[in-house]
């Protein structure tokens, strides 16, 4: 087994390598003067089982091209099997046609990764489960819920916890976390989205009065939905509100929005390489998913069960 990484999240790749106690593959992923991606693998990978770790977060197009060219370089170097490890799968939110004459970009990106030469895909908390079917190769979708539930139980044991979904579409995810937290009560924020990137909270389905509320979501981008949901929960009598999200995209003024919000804390994983503004925030805390990814990589390489990670 060999591990290789693009430039999207080198700290996560190194943490995975440290957990598995194997060195990173010696490879150069650089740019020409005109910003074209250049990849050169400086060691023999013929007949090897290679895992390429590269989330396709901001800048999404650059990181995606790095991934595709790394895969192509490995295929042309006669690697036995190439697994694209995508802690965060970019373009996942474009997984259907919401209106006429719009693309299904998630399917297009899946085709690109497959055609480049990947034999397998490993990701965490895909925005929609059906994206696994967009790939014509085996796809493993890991869940960050075990990492989050362990952190919640360690920090907030004894509190009157209610798990809250920030929208109707996230109820399955919230219910799965609630089950791990000894079948904690569930609530839903019913909101109406007027336009892309903005949300208006309407009401709360469920009793949150005097409860310690934990909002759960897969992606936090502008943070508008979470901040509005936190305000609505406080107005409904919630004792405190903490948010757990797998992928901290946090674009634009999201960090400032979180700092001014009713949220006590926002917890995100290191699936995306987080910038200095995020790391300097007093309200944002980072959980690592390196052990989870490392265990999945080891099990795939050993041809053992990945699903048993979540039993």
- The annotation status of 211 as a binding-site residue, yes or no, is no
Q: Which residue has the tokens 């992923």?
A: 29
Is 298 a residue of the active site? Answer: no
CB 241 within 8 A of CB 231: no
Q: Is 193 annotated as contributing to ligand binding?
A: yes
Token pair 């699903």 in the structure block, residue:
307
Does the annotation flag 235 for ligand binding?
A: no
Question: Is 117 part of any known ligand binding site?
Answer: no
Across the strands, what pairs with 30?
Answer: 38
Q: How far apart are CA 303 and CA 173, in angstroms?
A: 28
The reply to whether 36 sits in an annotated binding site is yes
Residue 127 annotated as binding site: yes
Reading the block at residue 294, the tokens are 């490392």
Q: Tell whether 93 is in a known binding site.
A: yes
d(CA 78, CA 146): 36
State the catalytic residue, choosing from 80, 191, 260, 298. 191
Q: Is 94 annotated as a binding residue?
A: yes
| 275 annotated as a binding-site residue | no
Residue 167 marked as a ligand binder: yes
- Residue 153 labeled ligand binder: no
The annotated binding site for Mg(2+) is made up of 127, 167
| Known binding residues for ATP | 34-36, 93-94
Would you list which residues are annotated within the binding site? 34-36, 93-94, 127, 167, 193, 217, 221-225
Residues serving a catalytic function are 191
Report the binding-site residues for D-ribose 5-phosphate.
193, 217, 221-225
């Amino acid at each position: 087994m060999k591990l290789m990484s693009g430039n999207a999240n080198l700290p996560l790749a190194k943490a995975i390598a440290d957990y598995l106690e194997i060195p990173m593959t010696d490879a150069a992923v650089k740019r020409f003067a005109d910003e074209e991606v250049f990849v050169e693998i400086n060691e023999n990978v013929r007949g090897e089982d290679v895992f390429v770790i590269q989330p396709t977060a901001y800048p999404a197009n650059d990181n995606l091209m790095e991934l595709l060219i790394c895969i192509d370089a490995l295929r042309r170097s006669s690697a036995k099997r190439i697994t694209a490890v995508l802690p965060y799968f970019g373009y996942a939110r474009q997984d259907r046609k919401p209106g006429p004459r719009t693309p299904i970009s998630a399917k297009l990106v899946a085709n690109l990764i497959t055609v480049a030469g990947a034999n397998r895909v490993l990701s965490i908390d895909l925005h929609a489960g059906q994206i696994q079917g967009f790939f014509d190769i085996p796809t493993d979708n890991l869940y960050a819920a075990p990492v989050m539930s362990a952190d919640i139980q360690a920090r907030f044991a004894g509190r009157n916890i209610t798990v809250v979904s920030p929208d109707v579409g996230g109820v399955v995810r919230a219910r799965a976390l609630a089950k791990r937290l000894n079948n904690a009560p569930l609530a839903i924020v019913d909101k109406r989205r007027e336009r892309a990137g903005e949300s208006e909270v309407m009401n709360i389905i469920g009793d949150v009065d005097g409860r310690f509320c934990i909002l759960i979501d897969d992606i936090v981008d502008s943070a508008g939905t979470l901040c509005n949901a936190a305000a609505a929960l406080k107005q409904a009598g919630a004792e405190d509100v903490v948010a757990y999200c797998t992928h901290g995209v946090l674009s634009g003024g999201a960090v400032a929005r979180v700092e001014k919000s009713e949220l006590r804390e926002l917890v995100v994983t290191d699936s995306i390489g987080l910038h200095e503004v995020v790391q300097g925030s007093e309200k944002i805390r980072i959980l690592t998913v390196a052990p989870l990814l490392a265990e999945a990589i080891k099990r795939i390489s050993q041809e053992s069960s990945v699903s048993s990670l979540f039993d």
